[in-house]
Chains A and B, each alone.
Chain A
């Protein structure tokens, strides 16, 4: 997959609105008058979701659902009020309520960055839109993957979770800005569960796309591989815990950059804390000259891409680390105003039930020039970790767990290990990245959770990287 920005398939149409709903728009515009707040925004969302899951030999769940509702957010002297509703008739009452609540939480005055009001609509049109694919075809495809997993040796069970959605969001702000966006989404996780007596092991793969069904149509080989890996884990030993030189594949290195640095770049974790602001000054050295970390919502066809965030700010490309130095961070309108920095378009909400908060989009380490072979060459004993289970951060410390791991012995990838959990400390681990590969790839599976909002579609990626010392949990 190439990451060179090319916008041909991410169609942003500015001009005539392709959606019906003029009456709804009039009513929202009307409701945004006479509230007495400094700023008010309304989002109204309609979403349809399809879910299919398999467990073992059986289809477990095929379901269709719809979800429509809206929310109002109001600002008065730095205090926010938020009201969400399912019934569109509650719109006006919710505007009044959010404005009252904002007055009640008012504190230190806040002027949001000025913007010229604009109107826009953005529609993403995937090559094969999942919303046009029949349930029959989805079920048939998943059944093929499930059969491959279940017919593999030593497999006890499987778990296949598929979900897709079509989401249409109207956004209107009291400054006159009005945006309509239509975004499909697709996610799939295939898990194979192997058992031998008391031992239970699992292996999986997570994928996703911006609603392009084509992205999951040819995973038959991957399903086979997942089953093979789960079975192989039954015979694999656990790693002995301790510090190792580790090499991460692009998928896990993507999770690493998301956890190790992405979250710390989110300005809402920084802007009100004087000590954090001291720690995270622009220009601070975090890594070597070769380390560049970017968050980019404008990359075509990645799950973290969007034309406008949930405050109506255009998505953009933001360098977080350039040549090892902290050079930027991710902002909402509020955090940019409070820190007097440029807006970045990173205020996102998972649905109308939540306020937008500062989130990543597509976050990655830019490629360097070291081949995997050279990276491994001078490692006497280390751990090579591929794929991912998950990760978590507390800002300073973070963990990330790999789905597949091998010992590295004398420069060669050696025996397979049970999955490992790794941990690092942002103030030391980034400095210890001593080799960056040339093979950037993006991970589109899973989702990000923060502040009770999960899962948010994001993607993250990296080339292979080597960390000279990293703690690996073991038994």
Chain B
């Protein structure tokens, strides 16, 4: 890495070398059985330079020649964006622990056991459910070196398990599922089986909801699938800078319900998304996004921040190790409320509980639209779940929905690895369903 930096500096005024290596093991289950064991090793180096004031970028996974990588970066710098930042200098970064050697030492048998345990718990209660899923562990290392003297590195481990079950009856297909993840030993995989069993029980009957406007109770999974992506888009510094986010220019305004708080946090102990520094070597911190309904900060990296006249929030991310840095989320955390799931449910005269959607995120995300076909959701009548709905769509807009009255649950949990949220009960969500003549 030092050599690559030296080589780059022969042609560039400043430079940064990013190196990431990882090893992972994945155990796949299909049709309630062990299917495949996988091992992956990967190493990538990425070079960012500033030459004649412009950014050049080149990256390589696997075999590469350092001279050639420098040439590639130089070639792109003729066209690259004007660099509006200086690479950060050396700093001592103290972050939370991100490495747990017990994960690396886990035997394959233990991973197989975790998956098998979930499948057995589910199928012993529902013999006709077919499960498919995986258990995975990974260990990696990231090092960033730049011409301002920065040299930071971090080791990281993570473990995750996910399982999906399908139950088919005639032409009806019911999908249930859950996942857990952690940066340290051990996530409780029983949570996956417990969730799936609760979903199966609630979905036992079929129910119908007429087209109309209803209160919708999003479980933590429902919040993840419906609301996370439009929120991440609205707070991305790129969209704010371009004024394509509806929140652009509204920092400090009371846009959302005062009940709602949200922040992005890369500093949480024991989480796979945690890192002492971002993809540019800037110290991670907790970034407030919504404070009691007021729009807080937006997520910036060095370049986007400089363009917007703002400081980086330590939110530089790479979509993969061969991609340029862009601003992005780490883990969104929704502040907990004090209403239980049961209390929220009993307050609904007629409405829906939404757990899972398909087609979410395929509408106009920039304007905050969300929606999709309810893959797993339940009809609520007079405070009780009466059955699962099908052939039903929901649609709404986060900025409208979260500015009205929202009841915040006290059932906080992690979902999907990068969201910690309780259930949220939103008013006035549009529901479309098929006519009833079949």
Chain A residues positioned under 8 Å from B37 (CB to CB)? 79-82, 101-102, 104-105
Residues of B within 8 A of A59 (CB): 79-81
Give Cα distance in the complex from A86 to B42, angstroms: 6
Identify which of A195, A272, A389, A396 contacts B363 (C-beta below 8 A): A389
In the bound complex, how far is the Cα of B37 from the Cα of A49, in angstroms? 30
Residues of A within 8 A of B396 (CB): 475
Instruction: Name B19-39 residues within 8 Å CB distance of A.
Output: 30-31, 33-39
A32-83 CB contacts (< 8 Å) to partner B: 49, 51-52, 55-56, 58-69, 79-83
Q: Are A399 and B358 in contact (CB under 8 A)?
A: yes
- In Å, the complex CA distance between A88 and B241 comes to 43
A353 an interface residue at 8 Å Cβ cutoff? Answer: yes
| Cβ distance A36 to chain B, nearest Cβ, rounded Å | 16
Tell me the bound Cα distance from A7 to B42 in angstroms.
38
B41-62 interface mask toward A, CB cutoff 8 Å, 1 = contact, 0 = none? 1111010000000001111111
A272 vs B81: C-alpha distance when bound (angstroms): 52
For the A-B complex, the count of residue pairs with Cβ-Cβ distances under 8 Å equals 252
Q: How large is the interface on B (under 10, 10 to 19, 20 to 34, 35 or more residues)?
A: 35 or more
Stretch at the interface among B10-18, B169-177, B184-192, B288-296: B169-177
Among A193, A355, A390, which residue has its beta carbon within 8 angstroms of that of B359? A390
A272 to B44, CA, bound (A): 37
Q: Write out the residue numbers on chain A whose beta carbons fall within 8 Å of the beta carbon of B358.
A: 392-394, 397-399
Chain B: minimal CB distance from A334 (Å): 10
Contact of A419 among B128, B363, B435 (CB under 8 A): B363
Bound-state CA distance A355–B57 (Å) is 30
Minimum distance in angstroms from B196 CB to a CB of chain A: 16
Cα–Cα distance between A26 and B390 once the two chains are bound (Å): 56
B432 near A473 (CB under 8 angstroms)? yes
> Do residues A392 and B359 form an inter-chain contact, with CB atoms below 8 A?
yes
List chain B residues, Cβ under 8 A from A8: none
Enumerate chain A residues within 8 angstroms of B373, measured Cβ to Cβ. 397-399, 421, 423
Are A471 and B433 within 8 A (Cβ)?
yes
A residues in contact with B75, CB < 8 Å: 64, 135
State whether the Cβ of A3 lies closer than 8 Å to any Cβ in chain B: no
Partner of A423, one of B43, B244, B391, B435: B391
Interface size class of A (residues with CB under 8 A): 35 or more
A425 to B433, alpha carbons, bound, how many Å?
12
Asked if B395 CB lies within 8 Å of chain A CBs, one says yes
B31's partner among A82, A272, A392, A472 (CB-CB below 8 A) is: A272
What residue of chain A has the Cβ atom nearest to residue B168's Cβ? A275
Chain B 227-262 interface residues, beta-carbon cutoff 8 Å to A: 238, 241-246
Task: Given A56-B242, A63-B76, A418-B364, check contact A241 B59 (CB 8 Å).
Answer: no
B322 to nearest A CB, angstroms? 4
* Cβ-defined contact, B63 with A474, below 8 A: no
* B268 contacts chain A at the CB level, 8 A cutoff: no
Give the docked Cα–Cα distance between A400 and B241 (Å): 30
Residue B393 at the A interface, CB < 8 A?
A: yes
* CB pair A195 B41 closer than 8 Å: no
B-chain residues with CB within 8 Å of residue A389 when the two chains form the complex: 362-363
The reply to whether B364 and A241 contact each other, CB–CB distance below 8 Å, is no
The answer to whether the Cβ of A209 comes within 8 Å of any Cβ in the partner chain is no
In the assembled complex, which residues on chain B have CB atoms less than 8 Å from the CB atom of A109? none
Interface flags for A121-153 (1: CB within 8 Å of B; 0: not) read 000000000000001100100000000000000
When distances are taken between beta carbons in the complex, the residues of chain B under 8 Å from A88 are: 62-63
Q: For residue A107, which residues in chain B have a CB less than 8 angstroms away from its CB?
A: 33-34
B residues less than 8 Å from A67 (CB atoms):
60-62, 322
Known: A399-B362, A475-B395, A475-B396. A64 touches B171 (CB 8 A): no
CB neighbours (8 Å) of A221 from chain B are: none
Q: How far is the CB of A423 from chain B (nearest CB, A)?
A: 4
Known contacts A68-B62, A86-B61: A397-B34 contact under CB 8 Å: no
Asked whether B430 lies within 8 Å of A474 as measured between CB atoms, the reply is yes
Q: Is B40 an interface residue (CB 8 A)?
A: yes
Q: Enumerate 24 A-B pairs (CB-CB under 8 Å) in ascending A order.
A: A52-B79, A56-B242, A62-B76, A67-B61, A69-B42, A69-B62, A80-B36, A80-B37, A86-B44, A86-B61, A88-B62, A90-B41, A135-B79, A156-B242, A195-B243, A200-B245, A241-B211, A272-B31, A272-B130, A279-B168, A397-B373, A419-B364, A473-B371, A475-B430
